Amino acid sequence: MPHRFGIGVIGCGTIAQSAHLPAIARLRARARLVAVADVRGEAADHAARTWGAEEAYADYHALLARPDIEVVVIATPEFLHAEQVAAAAAAGKHILCEKPMAPSVEEADAMIAAARAAGIKFMVGHSRRFTPRYQAVRAAIDRGAIGQVRMARENERRPRAMYRGLSLATGAWAPDGERAWMADARYSLGAAMLNAIHEVDLLRWFVGDEVTSVYAESRIGDENAEVPDFISIQLRFANGALAGTEVVTNLPHDYPLYHQLEVYGTEGVIRAMDPEMRTYSETTTEGMREPLNFDALLHIDTAYEDELRGLLDAIEQETAVPLPPEEARQAVLLSVAAVWSSQRGQVAHIQPDFNMIETPEGGAA
Amino acid sequence: MSATDQPLRVAVLGDGPLTRPMLDALTDRTPGAHVVAVAAEGSTPNPSAITRAMGAEAVCIAAPVADRAGLIVTALEAGIPVCCPAPAAGDLSTLDSLILRAADAGVMVYAPNPLRHWLPLATMHERRRNIGTPLALFAAHRTTRAITGDLFTDLALPLIDVALWLVEAEVERVQVMAERLFSHGPGDGPDSADAALILLRFANGVVATLEVARSLPDNFPQAEEVNVEFLGRDAVLRANPTNQAITVTSASGTMREDWLPHPAVSIIETFVETIRTGATAPQSLLDARWVLPVLEKVRLAATTGEMVRVGGALRR
């Protein structure tokens, strides 16, 4: 009989309820939800009732103190990740941390160091790396279907309804009771981190090389937001390849074409475009809707289940996690570089060792 | 039939991608015009000689960009109205020279951007105010790799024109990443680039993400594709003018047949109507005067790899 890992979930907001908690439920043969935690007690209670956790905590330290929890899923906003990963590692828990890994490269490095020091398995959940659509793209690249990748684009467009929390039982958290954390400059860097970190990670994965320079333009479209809900990013890679991504989270409700991926190689092209992947549509007097596109890509598919399974396999078999945290750290670097660039109107050049941004004065940022 | 009801006698000069669509438009779709001469492959077109010999009353130029300015000058010297799809010139000094010559000759030069004449893009322009506060523009123009020519003049310039046409604001700054990624041959650097990612920041806050590339494999089902999305707070407008085709699968394989009218039809109709009515050309050489300065900054940004401010009012 396979071992059933005791799981604790820290953070019971949108991504936990729509992705991580359902994935744990589907993996019930190997995972048992023991407890959940959220600073909003009612959100924790709701998640515990809905997904069958034994206990709900408002203080995540109480969850970490439980010996029957071996693995924690951290599904909080990124500004809390460094502290919570350090605490979980110190408590000897294996960790699956939601992306973005951290709002800064320094915090990402500290998280990796904390996990190493504790000897626990640590993985950042870049779910797109586990999404069948993108895995098929990478597999086609790996088997040489298009030769060497020379240019790639991944555009992501989201209706503003998602930006505000997917209309779940508990909406996006407002730490100070004012605006959602993801729209608050004290807690978020905006679209560059919230979504574009997916795209820069995918582009780097598909090109298969490190980035040497980043340029970005961003803007705030939502009058209630303090951080950009739009960003367009250019990437230049060490092997000469170019890539671009345009991410917007403020489109009209029901906009259906979320993802547009194109990868151009020396010998061909790969495309994965939502408009050509219609799986379901509803045509009414109000027009046509395609409500399944977003869900099919992100929440009905097996990505979140597979990333958790990958972590559990690594723990059980004492192997490396399928997505090393160093990969997530490089994605943080690219998103931070995009923010740096868009705020200054300058190209962000990455240092020769691809470790940090090189400032115009020759320093590191 | 009175003399003014006679079909306009038109000469088509030059051998380029627009030669066949222009001839088709003149032959099949424009009863008010009649092709009297074609000077294309293997010939050295001389508008003066053609006009004298064939009595042409108007000239349509379909030559590659590098040959257009010379053909316009000779047409102006012959006093014949000219239709020359943009870009008529690839640099400001040549363009300014053409503007002065056209003014001196008192001859109309119609310089339409073919992209503006694709029905989906024309519709997008008509409905651009429906999107509420504009947020961003994404536009891509890709061709197969076998197609040659200067990437910036041939592909970027018309797309920048579309961006200015839709966004209706001045460009504040540009950044470009350009490389030769898909073709081989002598030369390196931005001048020989076959792919460019261009970011334009407009004074009204709109960010335009433009992609121009000869990135399509040569066996791609279509030789070129254009995608434009105009993103606004209240609506998103999306135009795919080049994917409107039927496919026919038979024993000889699958064939693709475009059904959407080629921009040349609208261009020729407008040209003939402008001559007939004596109206001002809806897009003249002067209109290119607000696009080329942006293109020059785009080239500079591609060369330096750094952001370039455009600054100042560019429109005439």
pLDDT at position A323 over 70: yes
- Asked if A267 and A163 sit in the same domain, the reply is yes
Looking at the fold, whether A173 and A308 belong to one and the same domain comes out as: no
Q: Across the strands, what pairs with A72?
A: A8, A95
Residue A363 lies in a domain: no
Which residue is associated with the tokens 């709900």? A56
CA of A268 vs chain B CAs: smallest distance (Å): 6
| Environment class of A143 (CB within 10 Å of its CB; exposed 0-12, middle 13-18, buried 19+) | exposed
CB contact under 8 A, B233 and A246: no
Give residue A269's domain range: 129-296+332-350
> Could you tell me which residues are beta bridge partners of residue A231?
A218, A247
Angle at B97 between CA B92 and CA B101, to 5 degrees: 150
- Residue A290 resides in a domain: yes
Contact B113, B86 (CB under 8 A): yes
Rounded CA-CA distance B130/B138 in Å is 17
Do A168 and A315 belong together in one domain? no
Cα gap B37→B51, rounded to integer Å = 9
Instruction: Return the minimum-mean-pLDDT range out of A322-336, B220-234, B239-253, B287-301.
Output: B239-253
**Which is more confidently placed, A343 or A352?**
A343
How would you write B273-284 as a 3-class SS string? Answer: HHHHHCCCCCCC
Q: Give me the DSSP letters along A169-230.
A: SS----TTSSS-GGG-TTT--THHHHTHHHHHHHHHHHHTS-EEEEEEEEE---TT-SS-SE
ipTM of the complex: 0.84
Q: Which of A153, A268, A347 sits opposite B306 (nearest CB)?
A: A347
The 10 Å CB-count burial string (b at 16+, else e) for A15-52 is: bbbbbbbbbbeebeebbbbbbbbbbbeebbbbbbeebe
**Which pLDDT tens digit goes with each residue over B170-194?**
999 999 999 999 988 766 667 799 9
CA A218 to chain centroid: 19
Residues of A in contact with B234 (CB under 8 A): 252
> Is residue A362 a part of any domain in this protein?
no
Same-domain check for residues A118 and A196: no
Would you say the C-alpha torsion B247, B248, B250, B255 has a positive or negative sign? negative
pLDDT above 70 coverage of chain B, percent = 91
Instruction: Work out the minimum CA distance from B295 to partner chain A, whole angstroms.
Output: 18
Task: Find the CB nearest A151 among B205, B213, B217.
Answer: B213
Whether residues A100 and A135 fall in one domain: no
Domains of chain B, first to last: 3-113+264-284 (3.40.50.720), 116-261+293-309 (3.30.360.10)
Q: What strand order describes the sheet that includes B8-13?
A: B33-39, B8-13, B58-61, B82-83, B109-110
> Are both A41 and A176 inside the same structural domain?
no
Residues A209 and A91 in one domain: no
Q: What is the CATH number of the domain that holds A158?
A: 3.30.360.10
Cα–Cα distances (Å) from A60 to A39, A63, A350, in that order, read 8, 5, 37
User: Domain for residue A200, yes or no?
Assistant: yes
Chain B residues closer than 8 Å to A240 by CB: 179, 181
Specify if A153 maps to a domain: yes
Among residues A99, A197, A189, A207, the alpha carbon closest in space to that of A153 is found at: A207
Q: Does the beta-carbon distance from A244 to B211 stay under 8 Å? A: yes
How high is the mean pLDDT of chain B? 87
What is residue B38's predicted lDDT score, i.e. its pLDDT? 74
Q: What's the number of domains chain A is made of?
A: 2
Q: Do A250 and B173 touch (CB under 8 A)?
A: no
Question: B111-152: per-residue pLDDT in tens?
Answer: 999 999 999 999 999 999 988 999 999 999 999 999 888 999
- Cross-chain CB nearest to A248 (options B135, B205, B306): B135
Residues A263 and A180 occupy one common structural domain: yes
* A168 has a pLDDT exceeding 50: no
State the pLDDT at residue B55: 81
Residues A120 and A142 reside in one and the same domain: no
Residues A122 and A134 in one domain: no
Q: Are A54 and A80 in contact (CB under 8 A)?
A: no
Residues A260 and A312 in one domain: no
Res A186 pLDDT > 90:
yes
Q: Please tell me which of the candidates B138, B205, B207 has its beta carbon nearest to residue A155.
A: B138
pLDDT value, residue B191: 78
With bands split at pLDDT 50, 70 and 90, how would you rate the model's confidence at B3?
A: very low
- The predicted-structure confidence for B36-85, as pLDDT tens digits, reads as follows 777 765 555 566 666 666 788 999 999 888 889 998 998 898 899 999 99
- Would you say residue A110 lies in a domain? yes
Three-state SS at B304: helix
Q: Name A357's bridge partners.
A: A350
Which residue in B has a C-alpha nearest to residue A247's C-alpha?
B136
Mutation test of the interface with chain A: which of B218, B227, B229, B236, choosing the one with the most A Cβ atoms within 10 A? B236
Residue at A139 is within a domain: yes
SS3 B261: coil
Type of residue found at B3: A
Nearest CB to A230; choose among B173, B181, B207: B207
Based on the domain organization, do A152 and A202 belong to the same domain? yes
Which residue numbers of B have CB closer than 8 Å to A's CBs? 133, 135-136, 138, 173, 175, 177-179, 181-182, 195, 197, 199, 201, 205-207, 209, 211, 213, 215-217, 220, 231, 233-236, 238, 305-307
Asked if B213 and A255 come within 8 Å (Cβ–Cβ), the reply is no
| CATH number assigned to the domain comprising residue A94 | 3.40.50.720
Spatial separation of the C-alpha atoms in residues B122 and B132, rounded to whole Å: 18
